[in-house]
Homo-oligomer: A and B are copies of this chain.
Amino acid sequence: MTRQRLGVCYYPEHWPQSRWSVDAAMMKGIGLSFVRIGEFAWSRLEPNEGAYRFEWLSHAIEALDRAGLKVVLGTPTATPPKWLVDKMPEMAALDADGRPRKFGSRRHYCFSHEGYARECDRIIEHLARAFGGHPAVAAWQTDNEYGCHDTVLSYSPVALQAFRRWCEARYRSIETLNEAWGNVFWSMEYRSFDEIELPNLTVTEANPSHLMDFQRFSSDKVVAFNRRQAQIIRSHAPDATILHNFMGAFVDFDHYALSDDLDVAAWDSYPLGFLERSSHDDAFKLRYMRVGDPDFQAFHHDLYRACGRGRWQVMEQQPGPVNWAPWNPAPAKGAVRLWTFEAFAAGAETVSYFRWRQAPFAQEQMHEALLLPNAAPNDAYHDVARISKELSSLDARVETARAEVALVFDYESAWAWRIQPQGEDFFYFDLVMCFYRALRRAGLSVDIIPPIASEVAERRLILAPALFAPTRDFSEALAKSGATILLGPRTGSKTADFQIPADLPPGALRRIIDIRVRRAESLRPGARIRLSGQGAFVRWREFLALGESVTPEFTSEDGETALARSDNVLYLAGWPDEELLTNVLRRVFIIAGMSTLALPEDIRVRDNGAMRYIFNYGAASTDISALVGEETLLIGSCLLESCGVAVFRR
């Protein structure tokens, strides 16, 4: 089993060479193992076309190596230098308004531009050849945060051409496309693939099928862009670990698909910044402003563990105030440690901090780091030193196992309901988070899964809210699984072509629960469909027609089936408020024969193999002795302080 380790992100090019070995020694001194470097350094690696300057990078790697550190080497393709952009200005993405997205920050490229892709091939080829065999280079990171700053969708002429070819490959004949999209509607029919336009600047909203395919195409382009990088790296460093650092609450491309070309899925965890940017209300944001949403990080740990097929890590862990959220408060004392152990509890191989030393210049100068700009240790530096000692004492290792409970998270669904929310606040991500939070408050350790058949086996409970268009394979696997299954709302409400199923939703899933969704309505804030004493639907509610085998498990006050049941399969006909979801899940757990934990409000639990971690996201110390029972705490105490972590072996 892999030992769990710490790392950090480092920019040697920002500091004098004399500093590198000092930094390396300090890193080693607080127990770091991995150092990510290089991912924005193109202008230093190739300051003029073809003039490669890799010596400094060799020296930096050597300095780290000498200190016993391993390197994660980033490809610099997120920041093409000015001379390259000037050589091919049409490599710029165009935004939905048709404006070029210019040089002057980062990610200034269109994923469909073949010329740029070839430039990437070239620099990666040179880098991989130079460092692919270096013993200190343990892993490679492709690019950086694909899609950050809304860069997946580009409305450029090259994107248009590529989209036409993509459509042709998918549909073969234009008649098939016209039928799939329903283009007879509003005379939107095309006579050839070369008539297809991008779905921006239309007079009113474009066809959802058109938007969906453009989103799929764009996602595919990101996946292909990454694959090209991975293949070149592998050709020179066949044993290297290849990873990419994904983001939080980000769904603009299919992360499962992209991860197929990776060895490890990494993500960048900024609990306070993500909370500020979330759709939570002000009270929630104030309450958790210094610790973050108690469930957001865990959700992503579980999601990226799924992406990495078990292998995952945190590449950028927030160490202090950042610079990019609407407001940027300091973490609570202990929060950095709390976040770190939450990741290890979910099976992270590595937690790597962003970054080693705060840059005094440019866009991220207000982003804190382990060191202050003047090289003095910042708070997180001391936190990390402590964490690395604790890790050793725990002998912490990755101990993954398939969880009994699986929650489906699907990128196409996220796109679908963004394209067609039907009510302004129908956010797929938020809905799945509601389910995740309720499971976690019940003390359950959860697997996030894509909607594929192979993930169904060995589950006791599978939840699939708002799943856009389940495949036949997945539906069949569910039918055979024997697990308790909770579907809805909106699950199965479309075909893959973004049409309503011929005999109404939930389409193919009718084979596992014989209902028809005959009507759906969205509900403005304040509108509630009450279930006496059990909570209410908000935002969304459906009207079901039940087949003979189906019984209403819960009914709304206005007499509609709110929760339908057919044996071990249930369908929830709306967006539940917290109270209703708790009651629904209580019923579901009984059906599934599962036991849960009674957790105090801000306490969370996560199992990593036999290790049980307990976390306190609250502001006050909390008695957790009921959870610990007779076990011996390896870390922490039964009166768990704010931001406290307790660990025991079950």
A binding-site residues for B, Cβ under 8 Å:
11, 13-14, 40-44, 47-48, 76, 79-83, 86, 93, 97-108, 148-149, 151, 181-191, 195, 197, 199-210, 276, 282, 285-286, 289, 320-321, 323, 326-330, 358-366, 368, 372-374, 376, 378-379, 420, 422-424, 497-504, 518-527, 543
Per DSSP, chain A at the interface is loop
Known: A41-B187, A102-B200. 20 other contacts (CB 8 A): A40-B187, A43-B184, A48-B191, A82-B190, A97-B99, A103-B197, A105-B188, A105-B204, A106-B187, A108-B202, A182-B360, A207-B362, A282-B526, A289-B527, A327-B522, A327-B527, A328-B423, A329-B524, A360-B501, A372-B504
Least CB distance from A173 to B in Å reads: 15
A97 surroundings in chain B (CB, below 8 A): 97, 99
In the complex, the answer to whether B374 meets A203 with C-beta atoms within 8 Å is no
A93 surroundings in chain B (CB, below 8 A): 203
In the complex, the answer to whether A520 meets B106 with C-beta atoms within 8 Å is no
The contact of A361 among B361, B422, B499, by CB within 8 Å, is B499
Number of this chain's copies in the assembly equals: 3
A151 surroundings in chain B (CB, below 8 A): 203
What residue in chain B is nearest A15 (Cβ atoms)? B184
In the complex, the answer to whether B519 meets A363 with C-beta atoms within 8 Å is no
The contact of A424 among B326, B520, B524, B525, by CB within 8 Å, is B326
The contact of A286 among B80, B320, B524, by CB within 8 Å, is B524
The contact of A326 among B328, B358, B374, B524, by CB within 8 Å, is B524
What residue in chain B is nearest A500 (Cβ atoms)? B360
In the complex, the answer to whether A187 meets B99 with C-beta atoms within 8 Å is no
What residue in chain B is nearest A331 (Cβ atoms)? B521
Task: Give A195 to B86 CA distance when docked, in angstroms.
Answer: 8
Task: Give A185 to B102 CA distance when docked, in angstroms.
Answer: 16
Contact A362/B186 with A98-B99, A101-B201, A373-B504 known, Cβ cut-off 8 Å: yes
What residue in chain B is nearest A104 (Cβ atoms)? B202
A424 surroundings in chain B (CB, below 8 A): 326-327
The contact of A105 among B205, B368, B376, B525, by CB within 8 Å, is B205
Going nearest first, the 7 A-B pairs with the smallest beta carbon separation are A182-B361, A185-B362, A43-B187, A104-B202, A360-B500, A79-B187, A182-B362
Least CB distance from A275 to B in Å reads: 10
What residue in chain B is nearest A188 (Cβ atoms)? B104
